[in-house]
Amino acid sequence: MKTALVTGATGAMGAAIAAALEQQGLNVFRHGHCCAACDFLADLADETQVNALFRQAEECFGNVDILVNNAGIALPQQLITDTTTAEFDRVFAVDVRGVFLCCRRAIPHMVRQKWGRIVNISSMWGVHGASCEVAYSAAKAAVVGLTQALAAETAPSGVTVNCVAPGVINTPMNAHLSAADLAQLAADTPVGRLGTPEDVSHAVCFFADANASFVTGQTLLVDGGRLRCG
């Protein structure tokens, strides 16, 4: 039985991804940062903690065959002039450095066995930058670039690396928005609704599947058509 490691599995989207992979018959190891409802707590910007995370997953289930880099942070919407250097650096530390560290730790086993799946979670704002989201947009764009480069590097070894770029997903992160704001966001989405965590999990499961061996280096927008049809 293959093992999947899902980072950020305590959030709504990460929890849905972990549950969907479990339903596919995988062993799923759940990472979190500050919530006890996971298998291991770790700050993914810290290399020592990332290594400890993987060691714990390996002790529980064996080597990691599928890695889903879902963990990420964002700042409140703000102008670049209101964004401190420390805030910018922290977003990149978690959203980019964390992905890099997890990928680097997972790759050797995948290459040795000539099979592996890495799915990175970016954002539609990593494909098309958003106003007042400079740090987050730049970090998520870096995840897209990392995905493409690593896909080319690992393809000869049977390892695929792909990216899912969600649009506006209806999660507790949007709880601060009013009903009118949410309705407007849905109206601005060509399919006429907000996305769900399950919408994202379906895309992740596709990339993680053994039958997706000829798909690598791709970024799949799960945004209801906002960037392509809107």
Burial 76-110 (b: 16+ CB within 10 A, else e): eeeeeeebeeeebebbbbbbbbbbbbbbebbbebb
Integer CA distances (angstroms), 149 to 136, 152, 161, in order: 20, 5, 9
Identify whether 62 is a catalytic site residue. no
DSSP 8-state code for residue 62: S
Three-state SS for 69?
strand
Single out the catalytic residue among 119, 136, 195, 223: 136
Distance in angstroms (rounded) separating the CA atoms of residues 185 and 180: 9
Hunting for tokens 């919408």 — which residue is that?
Answer: 199
Tokens of 169: 């997903």
What residues does 120 pair with on adjacent strands?
A: 69, 163
What is the C-alpha to C-alpha distance for residues 72 and 144, in angstroms, rounded to an integer? 14
Compute the chain's Rg from CA coordinates: 17
Token reading at 38: 């996971």
Q: Which residues are catalytic?
A: 136
